[in-house]
Amino acid sequence: VTPLLNHGYLAPIEHWGSDERVIEAARMSTAKGFQGWGPFPCTEPGCMPVEMPGDLNFCTKCKGTGEIPGDEKLLRYLYTHAHHTPFEMAGMVIEVQAPIFVFREWHRHRTQSYNELSARYTELPDMFYLPDESRIVGQSATNKQASGEELDEGLAEWARAEMALSQQRARIVYESLLKAGVAREVARIVIPVSQYSRMRASANLRNWLAFCTLRMDPKAQWEIRQYANAVGALLAERFPRTWALFMEGK
């Protein structure tokens, strides 16, 4: 489990497939299956040993390198030539706890499947995202969506205290409404988007990579970037060769 922000986390639930399975899927076209990761020593009769590199140029099979590439060559070809469907043969399910405004951005990724905590069924947890003072910065002067420079001294401290107050106030009203018998689905109307929610998300490897491309980017909001980086760390463990290609292409 990776802790994120002040109360969030990202946990792996399960994954399927592997870099090898991607190759196997692509090889359905030739019925050859996975041949192994290289490089392998060149076995061409007459090919000189690698210790004599000057004499190797005559070998047409290894082009004088003494080595024959393995299936890493095919994986690279698939990845760099947008042959995407074999990467749909692998995937991952994760559990995420994040503020509702992060989920608002996340749920735009329609190729993932989601199941989220319901505030109609369950009382929301008393958990709000309160950014550190260092995160409370000014509006960017050049990018209409983004954060900019540090605020003047004392402003961030004041803003953070105001945020905390409004969250506490919202919570007090929410609890009073529930206590008075107001329906959960109605009482939640007072809850701000800094409220934490919880979900499971599932996607295939192709679409997790698309998510990482968009949400690890510096243009994405800092908070969702923390989650996308954590998704990336899980993908790197489970699909190391595909992830290396993704990072090369960034």
Ligand X SMILES: Cc1cc2nc3c(=O)[nH]c(=O)nc-3n(C[C@H](O)[C@H](O)[C@H](O)COP(=O)(O)OP(=O)(O)OC[C@H]3O[C@@H](n4cnc5c(N)ncnc54)[C@H](O)[C@@H]3O)c2cc1C
Residue 135 catalytic? no
Inter-CA distances, 136 with 99, 152, 158, 211, Å: 16, 11, 10, 26
The verdict on 110 binding ligand X (CB under 6 A) reads yes
Q: How many helices (H) and strands (E) does the chain have?
A: 8, 7
Q: What stretch of H or E contains 209?
A: helix 205-215
Residue in 27, 109, 135, 200 binding ligand X, rule: CB under 6 A = 109
The verdict on 220 binding ligand X (CB under 6 A) reads yes
The verdict on 210 binding ligand X (CB under 6 A) reads yes
The verdict on 107 binding ligand X (CB under 6 A) reads no
Residues 146-205 contacting ligand X, CB under 6 A: none
Q: What stretch of H or E contains 46?
A: none
Locate tokens 């950014």: which residue? Answer: 131
Among residues 215, 225, 238, 241, the one annotated as catalytic is: 215
Q: What stretch of H or E contains 13?
A: strand 8-16
Q: Identify which of residues 129 and 211 has a Cβ nearer to ligand X in the complex.
A: 211
Residues 9-38 contacting ligand X, CB under 6 A: none
Q: How far apart are CA 162 and CA 130, in angstroms?
A: 10
Q: Identify which of residues 173 and 220 has a Cβ nearer to ligand X in the complex.
A: 220
- The residues annotated as belonging to the active site are 215
Where does this chain bind ligand X (CB under 6 A)? Answer: 108-111, 207, 210, 214, 219-220
